[in-house]
Amino acid sequence: MALWYLTSYSLRGADDVHWFPEEADCELNEGACRAALGEDASLTLDLGVDGEIRALEILSMTVALEGVEAESVVVDFVGRDMDMGLHRYPLDRQSDGIFRGEGQIPICTETVMPWRARVIVTSGERRVGSGFNFEVERSRL
């Protein structure tokens, strides 16, 4: 068990990320959320939903960057109150400079599961990111 946890933790690869706080009062289920990445840079994450975020539904994710040239962008979904494993989704750079890709939230046994979407931007040797909290309610049958 300890070996699994250590492997899971090390694969997350977020130890060298300089984390920035997200803007207050943003709800990913209502639209895009923004975070400043220092004085002259920012990122905006949109999960492509308008309403409830549901487990196992495909999310069309978009990350727009300002003031930073990125080589890669990934979005991790991390359980805030319980280890739910590694759910990392690399996004592809589009011709308009925006990064897009698909991902999904895994199912959980909790009625309401608190999650954090962590966006990690790699630019040369520098890695920066921010995270956005949200909740997923288990579907009722």
Per-residue confidence (pLDDT) for residue 72, from 0 to 100:
97
- The per-residue pLDDT for range 99-124, each reduced to its tens digit, is 999 999 988 777 889 999 999 999 99
133: β partners: 116
CATH of domain 2-137: 2.60.40.1930
Element spanning 4, H or E: helix 2-11
Burial zone of 104 (CB within 10 Å; 0-12 exposed, 13-18 middle, 19+ buried)? middle
Per-residue confidence (pLDDT) for residue 8, from 0 to 100:
42
Closest CA to 102 of 45, 53, 61, 52: 61
What is the value of pTM for the model shown?
A: 0.86
Ranges of each domain in the chain: 2-137
Q: pLDDT tier at 7 (50, 70, 90 boundaries)? A: very low
Query: Between residues 128 and 2, which one has the greater pLDDT?
Result: 128
Q: pLDDT tier at 13 (50, 70, 90 boundaries)? A: low
- The per-residue pLDDT for range 52-84, each reduced to its tens digit, is 898 999 999 999 999 999 999 999 999 998 888
Encoding tokens for residue 135? 């909740």
Query: Between residues 10 and 105, which one has the greater pLDDT?
Result: 105
- The residue length of the chain stands at 141
Residue that has been written with the tokens 């920035």 in this structure = 20
